[in-house]
C-alpha cells in the first residue's frame, strides 16, 4: 500500500543513491590510480605465491608482471596527486 510516507522514503533513497554515485565518480584520478595500483600489487603477489605453491612458472611470472604494473600505476597516482595540488 502506497502512502505519502513510502513515496517520500522512495524519493529519498533514490536521492541518496544518486549522491553516492556522484561521490564515487568524482574520486580524484591520482587517488584512484594509487588504489588500483595497490590492488594490482596484491593480486600479483597472490598469483606469484599461487604459482610457486602449485609449481606453475607461467602463473608466477604473470603475478610478477601484474605486481610491477601495480607499482607503476601507484607511482603514476602519486605523481598525479602532486600535480593536482
**Does position 7 have pLDDT exceeding 80, yes or no?**
no
pLDDT at position 2 is: 64
pLDDT at position 24 is: 63
**Does position 30 have pLDDT exceeding 90, yes or no?**
no
pLDDT at position 62 is: 93
The sign one gets for the Cα dihedral 11, 12, 13, 18 is positive
Going from N- to C-terminal start, the domains of the chain cover 29-85
Q: pLDDT tier at 85 (50, 70, 90 boundaries)?
A: low
Does residue 59 contact residue 51 with C-beta atoms inside 8 Å?
Answer: yes
* Average of per-residue pLDDT across 26-31: 77
Mean of per-residue pLDDT scores for the chain: 84
**Does position 13 have pLDDT exceeding 70, yes or no?**
yes
Residues 48 and 27: their CA atoms lie apart, in Å, by: 30
Record the cell numbers describing residue 67, joined without a space: 605486481
Amino acid at each position: 500500500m502506497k502512502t505519502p510516507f513510502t513515496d517520500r522514503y522512495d524519493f529519498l533513497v533514490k536521492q541518496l543513491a544518486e549522491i553516492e554515485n556522484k561521490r564515487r565518480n568524482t574520486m580524484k584520478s591520482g587517488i584512484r590510480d594509487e588504489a588500483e595500483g595497490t590492488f594490482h600489487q596484491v593480486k600479483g603477489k597472490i598469483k606469484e605465491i599461487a604459482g610457486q605453491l602449485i609449481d606453475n612458472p607461467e602463473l608466477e611470472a604473470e603475478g610478477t608482471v601484474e605486481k610491477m604494473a601495480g607499482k607503476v600505476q601507484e607511482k603514476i597516482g602519486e605523481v598525479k596527486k602532486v600535480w593536482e595540488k
